[in-house]
Amino acid sequence: MTEPTLPASTGIAVRDRIFWPLLIAILAVDTLSKRWAEAALQLHVPVDVVPPWLRWTLTYNTGAAMNLSVGGASRVIFSVVALVMIGYLVTVLRRSASSARALPAALALIVAGAAGNLLDRLRHAKGVVDFIDVGTADWRFWTFNVADMGVTTGAVLLALLLWREDAGAAQIPPTPSPPASPSDDAAS
């Protein structure tokens, strides 16, 4: 079975034809869905979508994942961390093979998510807009957004790629060293 191929070269690297459109699409869906949530939902008032599994609940997170916080400096610290990580991940992308496909997809998901939440932090002090609320009647998961889904999915994909790469490297037999020559023994 062969891997799917992209259309003939247009002068743009395959990795870029995957990374940039995916990043823009996720960032657009994240931004539009957050603006919809702010316009259509009331703060902390759940709206059942698929009861009790899925509901929309508008909330703002001034911290990071799972409301991780570093106090009043959270907005600045998490913004700087996001900018540094976005820069680093774009550098990883640039250093990847121009024909790479899975790595650019993973990086695009992570960068889009980080950028989406960064835009919220820069837009206002209320924090990141979260509204996707999943759980059961007795238990709720943390409320999240499309950007969070991108970061999580991209991180899982990246971990799988690294694991596969590491597993492949472990299967390569070591190169045997040549037998010692008698002159090597005499030199010792």
Antiparallel, parallel or unpaired: β 54-61 and 47-50: antiparallel
Q: Which residues are catalytically annotated?
A: 130, 148
Please state, in angstroms and rounded to a whole number, the distance separating the CA atoms of residues 22 and 182.
61
CA-wise closest residue to 114 among 135, 139, 89, 142? 89
**Long-range pairs, 156-159, Cβ under 8 A, ≥24:** 157/102, 157/105, 157/106, 157/109, 158/103, 158/106, 158/107, 158/110
**Strand locations in the chain (E):** 47-50, 54-61, 128-134
Q: Are 110 and 82 in contact (CB under 8 A)?
A: no
